[in-house]
Amino acid sequence: MPLAADVLTRIDSQVAAVRAQLVADRRDFHRYAETGWMEFRTASLIARRLADLGLDVAVGRDVVDEAGRMGLPDPQSLEAAWARALDQGGDPVFLDAVRGGFTGVVGSLHCGDGPCIGIRLDIDALDLQESDAPTHRPSLEGFASVNAGAAHACGHDGHAAVGLGLAQTLIGMRSALRGTVRLIFQPAEEGVRGAKAMVAAGVVEGVDALLGLHLYSGWPTGQVAPGKSNFLATSKFDALLTGAPAHAGGASHRGKNAMLAAATAVLNLHAIPRHADGATRINVGRLVAGQGRNVIPPTAYLALETRGGTSELNDYMVEAVHRVLRAAAAMYACDLEIRPMGEAHSAVSDPALVERIAATVRALPGLSLRDAAPGSGSEDLTTMMRRVQQQGGLASSIGLGADLGGFGHHTAEFDFDEAALPMAVRLLAVTVIDLQSHPWIDGAVP
């Protein structure tokens, strides 16, 4: 940065042309919210639009590794969601490709020799019932989720719309591009489940620079953190304890009490010593056990997670979790099954790339820089970032303010300022062209 004035003028013209479509796409995805691994309508329509624009499109098993998927819904739920997507206007051709929970999409724009720039865009909704209050704008203006128990309460509907708007903008700017732009539409970010499977399928192989963008309702619209690096590593687990039922009064000695094993586990999991080297956290969010008042509980289910300020700190917690669960099961002679349900690493945005993005922000009217405040969340973009960095590329997570002064992320009342959508497309388009228009030396952005 700065790009030539005529290039910026052309980008602004392209962004202006997609402004209304950005809002329409965001509201369509919001209305038909779909949760992780069940984004069938969303993925199929994204793939259709990219194909119609002329991008090379890969979907389904080509971009999602079957064995790498975590936290997959049961087959009946997947099939019901697929049928619903067909009824709600999903593209029939691409619906077949994503059936069964393979809801990733990658669109590539090839423009000759040059670096490969990857853009990651997550597309899933949350398992949450959206507010129907008349003061909630999606309800007031008729685009609230029609799918019970699914709501876009974190802005991923906006991310999907930005990806489509960026594709159309870059098509219009093709003469200014060199190399490849790879748009990665990722399922199942919530619960940090989807990135691992896409990385295993090779979607970031050969990427020289990876950008991820997230809209933040709590930040003033137009404020940009060009390189977030404060994500906690995390692991999600389900633990199933299996004992044996027995009459609680007449044959209690024959039972194997899974509820007591689970209760023992919960208390001792939360008693794991915290590590001196940084933040370490654990939470058992759910415990389900028992069958009847007079029956020794034969089964128990725990849903839990760990977090750590680094991947190494999180590994410390994971090891302790396994130790505690095994010991609690053994105390009550219960069998134990631990199922991994999601994971994300810690990661650091590359300073050289962050500075180039910051320079772009400084040069674009309507945007301003902000520091990335310390946080406590996790994000599986980090899985893609680390893989790109392992192969010598650079990666950065960009935050963009989109505040409406309302409720926060992951709440039933969540909404964001749609004025941020064209800002996001403009920022990403300028950044892509800026990165591709300069020589790359030894894997660093000069």
Q: What is the mean pLDDT of residues 106-120?
A: 96
Give the rounded distance of the alpha carbon of 35 from its chain centre.
Answer: 11
What percent of the chain clears pLDDT 70, i.e. is strictly above it?
96
CB-CB neighbours of 316 under 10 Å:
20
- Set out the domains of the chain in order of their start, with CATH numbers: 5-231+347-436 (3.40.630.10), 233-343 (3.30.70.360)
Which pLDDT score, from 0 to 100, does residue 440 have?
A: 62
CB-side exposure of 80: number of CA atoms within 13 Å? 7
pLDDT at 444 over 60: no
Q: What is the pLDDT of residue 6?
A: 87
pLDDT of residue 443: 54
Q: Please list, in sequence order, all residues whose beta carbon lies within 8 angstroms of the beta carbon of residue 148, skipping any fewer than 6 positions away.
A: 129
Altogether, the residues listed in the chain come to a count of 446
- Tell me the helix, strand and coil percentages in the chain, rounded to 5: 40, 20, 40
For the cut 70, the answer to whether the pLDDT of residue 2 exceeds it is no
Residue type, 445: V
Lowest mean pLDDT among 142-156, 196-210, 349-363, 374-388: 374-388
The answer to whether 368 and 361 are in contact (CB under 8 A) is yes
pLDDT score, position 441: 45
Which two structure tokens, joined as six digits, stand for 424?
Answer: 């996001």
Q: Which own/partner pairs from 78-81 qualify as long-range (CB within 8 Å, at least 24 positions apart)?
A: 78/37, 78/38, 81/34, 81/38, 81/40
Residue 3's pLDDT is 80
Provide the angle, in degrees to the nearest 10, between the axes of the packed helices 420-436 and 156-172. Answer: 50
Residue 230 has pLDDT above 90, yes or no: no
Q: How many C-alpha atoms does 317 have within 13 Å on its Cβ side?
A: 29
Determine the number of helices (DSSP H) and then strands (DSSP E) in the chain.
12, 12
pLDDT at 407: 80
- Residue 223 forms beta bridges with which residues? 368
Alpha carbon distance 390, 394 (integer Å): 9
Per-residue model confidence (pLDDT) at position 229: 87
Q: Is the pLDDT of residue 77 over 70?
A: yes
pLDDT (average), residues 66-84: 97
Mean pLDDT for 29-34 is: 98
| CB 237 within 8 Å of CB 321 | yes
What digits encode the pLDDT tens for the residues 258-317?
A: 999 999 999 999 999 999 999 999 999 999 999 999 999 999 999 999 999 999 999 999
pLDDT at 365: 94
Rounded average pLDDT over 417-446: 84
Q: What average pLDDT does the structure give for the chain?
A: 95
Beta strands in 217-277 (DSSP E): 223-228, 233-242
What confidence category does residue 119 fall into, taking pLDDT thresholds of 50, 70 and 90?
A: very high
Asked if residue 252 has pLDDT above 70, the reply is yes
